[in-house]
Structures are given as structure tokens and as C-alpha cells.
Amino acid sequence: MAKRLVRTVILGLVGVVALAVVGPNVLAWWLSRGQVHSSVAATPSSDVTIVFGAGLDQNGRPGRYLTARLSLAADLYEAGKTRVLLLSGATASNYDEPKAMRRYLVETRGIPSERIVLDEHGDDTYSTCVRAKKVFGVDHAIVVTQSYHLTRTVATCQQAGIEVQGLGDTSVGTASGTWRFGVVREWGATMKMARDFTMGRDPVLGAHDPAVEEALAKK
């Protein structure tokens, strides 16, 4: 009897753990189905494109992964697929992702600065999506990131109340150790996404920021 009880408890715990790991990832897949794209041409148009931070190099310039995201966003703008780029990233002492992102787009790709809006409290995917909705009033958008991160990104913004289409980058090389680490990391990050929404975690918010609306109003 005791052995049977122990076995039952162990199987139950295994089931709970499996559900906790697999459940959020299945949910993310379900929420993002049909909204994940691999080319600019295949991505439906939207007035706003959200670009997620991915780190700066030692010189304060966008790293390789972030540069690839910014390049895709610039391609969308140049193709007439989007009108305003919302650049979201982390800031700290001597570290400012959004400003470095804007500098790259303006100086390297010639994107007009008036078509760029900065979100300086995009500390993670959840914060960026929630702030895009609650602070900047974004209801529809394209989200740009690496393809392994795209399913969770689309699902997160969908749960935050934004109708999104996702465009994923693979140009950085899918065989690298960094890429493989990112793929594995997504399992845990997707669990965190589910916990954040379940617990109703609030990122840094504040008053409504009309910067996106003002950028869209410019001719």
C-alpha cells in the first residue's frame, strides 16, 4: 500500500511538472498560430512595429542579434509595411538600448527620427508588450525578433491585448551555440510568461504617452 501511494504521488508530481512546462508552450503556440512570418513580403502591414532589445556590444552599439532585428524593422519601413517603429529596451547607468537602436536606424538605415518612438522600460518581453498597450496605446502591431523568440513574443502581446503579426530573423545563424541556448531558454521563459499573466505582474507603467499617436499623425 505504501509503495503504491508513493508511486501515485511521484506520478502525480511528474504530471504536474509536465503540465507546468508543456502547458504554457502549447498555449503560446496556439495564440501565435498563423501570425508568425519569415519574410517582409509575407508579413501583413501594420502602422506600428515593435522592436525588442537584445543587448549592446562593449562600444554601446547594437549587438549582432539586435542589429538583425533593427535591419528587419527598417526593411518593413522601407517596404511601406509600417509607419512607426517603437524601440523597446533596457536602460541603466551608461547603458541605453533604445537610444542606441534609434541611432543605428537613423545613421545606418536613414529612417526618419520622427518615425521612431523609444520605450526605455522594456526590461523584458512581457514589459514591452504590456507597456505598448497600456502606456503607448498600441492596439495593432508587427513584432520583430529572432524566430526562436517569436512564438512567445506574439503570444505575450496577444495576451496583453495587442493584435500582432510576427516577423522572425534567422540571419544570425541557427547553428550557433547562442541560438541553441536561446531555443532551450524559451521553454522556461514561456513558463514565466504564463506566471506573469496569471499573477498580473505590472511592469513600470505611468501616464499615457502619446508619442506613437503623434508619430502616426505626422505626414
* Residue bearing the bigger pLDDT, 148 or 194: 148
Q: Using one digit for the tens of pLDDT, what is the confidence trace for 22-58?
A: 555 666 666 667 888 989 999 999 999 999 998 898 8
What is the side-by-side order of every strand in the sheet holding 48-52? 36-37, 163-169, 140-146, 48-52, 84-88, 116-119
Question: 201 vs 126, 196, 209, CA distance in Å?
Answer: 9, 5, 20
Q: Tell me the β-bridge partners of 116.
A: 85
Mean pLDDT confidence for 186-201: 78
* Residue bearing the bigger pLDDT, 15 or 203: 203
How far apart are the C-alpha atoms of 69 and 80, rounded to whole Å? Answer: 17
How far from each other are the two terminal CA atoms of the chain, in whole angstroms?
76
**Predicted confidence band of residue 14 (pLDDT cuts 50, 70, 90):** very low
Q: What is the mean pLDDT of the chain?
A: 85
**Predicted confidence band of residue 19 (pLDDT cuts 50, 70, 90):** very low
Residue 3, C-alpha cell as written in the block = 509503495
**Predicted confidence band of residue 209 (pLDDT cuts 50, 70, 90):** very high
Mean pLDDT confidence for 131-155: 94
**Predicted confidence band of residue 17 (pLDDT cuts 50, 70, 90):** very low
**Predicted confidence band of residue 187 (pLDDT cuts 50, 70, 90):** confident
